[in-house]
């Protein structure tokens, strides 16, 4: 197992208490609410079982846990890409199951999603992959192009923007998926192992992109197997294990200082 935090400040996993960091509750609206959420993919076994937690608007938190624990399932539920078998999920005050079809595009626009297997359009350039969500949502060409260029620059792909995704490395494709997710300036950013294919320097650059968004108030959820990444930032962690979710704050680990000459 990757790690199993010992301390659970929040009353234990799935005891019916709502996992929440009380310090965050002041003056902050709730961005995500899970209440007794179950998800089964149809063969009896629950991928998620009685999951309860809240995420405050503007919070940055990590989703951790072993392979097959249910992390991606959790993120896909938040993004509205799959539906729970039971329970209620609210995002930005809207209960997803009650959202009228005409309101769904607005929610999609407010949520930037980077999935574990990036779905890029291989028949067009990296630039066109990023600009497309803006064109689809009715932005004028000049604004769309300027914002797409800025997003591509932010993830460090400017020199490769004319290449098609198949011509990019796995890590570059992941960065492109991030540019596409941030180009609509979402209120909520969800990333499923966004640094899995990256070397340390590229991973740090991507994490800095997420931190920049967090610092301007974007709620940011990152699923990761990287324990160092989690402990470095001292943020709340939702730990998923066998479909059950508990909330933890790991003590932050100071980065070693570079020796002075
Ligand atoms: N589309 C699906 N159909 C059937 N079962 C699925 C489907 N997607 C996920 N599962 C099952 O649900 C469980 C949770 O899977 P999930 O992908 O959420 O895990 P994960 O924590 O993201 O794992 P990893 O760290 O390997 O990405 C697993 O047992 C998996 O086999
Ligand atoms: Mg996963």
| Among protein residues, the one whose CA lies closest to atom 28 of ligand 1 | 68
Residue 55 to residues 113, 122, 139: CA-CA distances in angstroms?
16, 35, 30
| Ramachandran angles phi, psi of 31, nearest 5° | -90, -40
Domain 22-247: what homologous superfamily? P-loop containing nucleotide triphosphate hydrolases (3.40.50.300)
Q: What are the beta bridge partners of residue 248? A: 237
For residue 153, give the 3-state DSSP assignment.
helix
Which numbered atom of ligand 1 lies nearest the CA of 73?
A: 18
Ligand 1 centroid to Cα of residue 172, in Å, is 25
Q: How confident is the model at residue 259 (pLDDT cuts 50, 70, 90)?
A: low
Q: Is 186 in the pocket of ligand 1 (CB under 6 A)?
A: no
Ligand 1 within 6 A of 116 CB?
Answer: yes
Euclidean distance between CA atoms 94 and 91, whole angstroms: 5
* Mean pLDDT (whole number) for 124-143: 94
pLDDT at 63 over 90: yes
Task: Record the pTM.
Answer: 0.85
Q: Whose CA is nearest to atom 30 of ligand 1?
A: 68
Convert the pLDDT of each residue in 92-132 to its tens digit: 888 998 888 888 777 878 899 998 888 899 999 999 999 99
Domain ranges of the chain: 22-247
Cβ(47) – ligand 1 distance below 6 Å: yes
């Amino acid at each position: 197992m990757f790690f199993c935090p010992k301390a659970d400040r929040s009353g234990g996993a799935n005891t019916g208490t709502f996992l929440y960091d009380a310090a965050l509750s002041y003056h902050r609206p709730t961005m995500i609410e899970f209440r007794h959420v179950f998800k089964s993919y149809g063969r009896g076994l629950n991928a998620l079982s009685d999951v309860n937690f809240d995420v405050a608007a503007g919070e940055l938190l990590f989703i951790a846990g072993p392979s097959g624990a249910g992390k991606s399932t959790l993120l896909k539920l938040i993004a509205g890409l799959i539906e729970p078998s039971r329970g209620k999920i609210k995002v930005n005050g809207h209960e997803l199951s009650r959202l009228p079809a005409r309101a769904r595009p607005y929610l999609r626009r407010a949520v930037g999603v980077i999935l574990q297997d990036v779905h890029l359009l291989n028949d067009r350039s990296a630039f066109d992959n990023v600009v497309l969500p803006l064109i689809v949502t009715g932005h004028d060409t000049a604004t769309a192009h300027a914002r797409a260029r800025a997003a591509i620059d932010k993830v460090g792909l400017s020199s490769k923007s004319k290449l098609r995704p198949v011509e990019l490395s796995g890590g570059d494709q992941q960065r492109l998926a991030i540019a596409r997710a941030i180009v609509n300036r979402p209120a909520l950013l969800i990333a499923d192992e966004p640094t899995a294919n990256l070397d340390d320097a590229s991973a740090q650059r991507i994490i800095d992109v997420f931190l920049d968004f967090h610092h301007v108030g974007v709620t940011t959820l990152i699923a990761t197997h990287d324990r160092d990444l989690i402990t470095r930032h001292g943020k709340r962690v939702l730990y998923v294990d066998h479909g059950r979710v508990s909330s933890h704050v790991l003590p932050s680990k100071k980065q070693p200082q570079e020796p002075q000459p």
